[in-house]
Structure 1
Amino acid sequence: MDDVEIVNYDPRWPVLFDEEAKRLRAVLDPSLIVGLEHFGSTAVPGLSAKPIIDILIAVQSLADAQATFVEALRNLDYVYWADNPKKDRMFFVKGMPPFGSRRSHHVHVTEPHGEMWQRLAFRDYLRAHPEEATTYERLKRRLAAEHQTDREAYTDAKSAYVETVMRKAIKRA
């Protein structure tokens, strides 16, 4: 079972990101990486979240990353989602059953002009606007209760809100 669980903010999340970022940088070709960021809800101080550290890596070339990242991340116990229908990114999960007891980290790999990299604006907007983060937290808790066993439905249900905040963030930039 891979339930949607929202927990209170954990001040260790940035530390867990830093530790994993060091491990990633140790096994990935540094010439490919143009950015490595903590993103998602665990990257917003005070925000409740699924206890999964989301890491976003921007690379010069997704094709070059596909040639070397899969094996390198497998050595750090990540599972690669080869069948991802979104071809502008790569997605890896650490700890997902049956390979672990629960998800602990997600690694998203994209190019810097990609939609995923643009999502950093969402994180930055929530960091700068705590009242918006509180609104998002209430929404996430409600949706997690409604879609406890359906991660995809939970994510889809948040998308309209995320788009609204993205528009505000882009306007502000």
Structure 2
Amino acid sequence: MVIANSVVPVEVVPYNPEWKAEFSRIKARMLEIAGDLILAVEHVGSTSIVGLSAKPIIDLDLVMESYAVLPQIIERFKQYSYEYLGNQGIEGREVLNPTVKDGFMHYHLYVCPQDGKGYLEHIAFRDYLRSHPSAVEAYERVKLSLAQQFRLDREAYTNGKTAFVRSILDQAMN
């Protein structure tokens, strides 16, 4: 018997104030696991922008001093049933993935050096949007349009946002 791969549709939902509370819960857990190995836990991505519609997935950056501590972080998280997935093609952003349900809403966990490109871009993008409501409105329009157009194609949805994200980063990092 062949079981077809199920495609998880792209779902962009209205901003939910509970996302901030859920981030705080996940952050507390991350600090319990690796607080002695990291400098900070940052809420990044669309759920960190008040008022912005988003996929209901919390993005977190665990900030480390340098890559020298990454092996310890990976080993620590393995003890808590996380797998290390590498940087998935994005410099300065390492991915850890929980392999068991942990009671939190869906989240993406990144480990980034404090001076890494991935981390610096996450923070610049987040902070720019937090201080530019018109950019939030424009980004929301892009996201909603792409989610409708590419409902069953997450890669196309993500790729469709690239030009907008790059334009914000160009402004935020100059």
Please give the range of the TM-score, normalised by the shorter of the 2 chains. 0.7 to 0.9
Give the SS at the match of 1:33: coil
Match of 2:13 in 1: 7
Distance of 1:145 and 1:63 partners within structure 2: 42
Over 3 Å counting, the alpha-carbon distance change for 1:112 and 1:82 in structure 2 is closer
1:1-173 pair list within 5 angstroms: 1-30=7-36, 32-65=37-70, 67-74=71-78, 76=80, 78-82=82-86, 84-86=88-90, 88-94=92-98, 104-119=106-121, 120-171=123-174
Distance of 2:50 and 2:32 partners within structure 1: 27
Structure 2 residue runs of 5 or longer lacking an equivalent are 1-6
TM-score normalized with structure 1 length = 0.83
Structure 1 residue runs of 5 or longer lacking an equivalent are none
Q: RMSD in angstroms over aligned alpha carbons?
A: 2.5
Distance of 1:137 and 1:77 partners within structure 2: 34
Once the 2 structures are TM-superposed, how far is the Cα of residue 35 of structure 1 from its aligned partner? 2.6
- Tell me if the contact between 1:92 and 1:108 (Cα under 8 Å) persists in the aligned partners: yes
Distance of 1:126 and 1:57 partners within structure 2: 21
Letter in 2 for 1:145: Q
Paired residue total:
166
- Tell me if the contact between 1:95 and 1:104 (Cα under 8 Å) persists in the aligned partners: no
Once the 2 structures are TM-superposed, how far is the Cα of residue 55 of structure 1 from its aligned partner? 0.3
Identity of paired residues, percent? 35
Distance of 1:147 and 1:34 partners within structure 2: 37
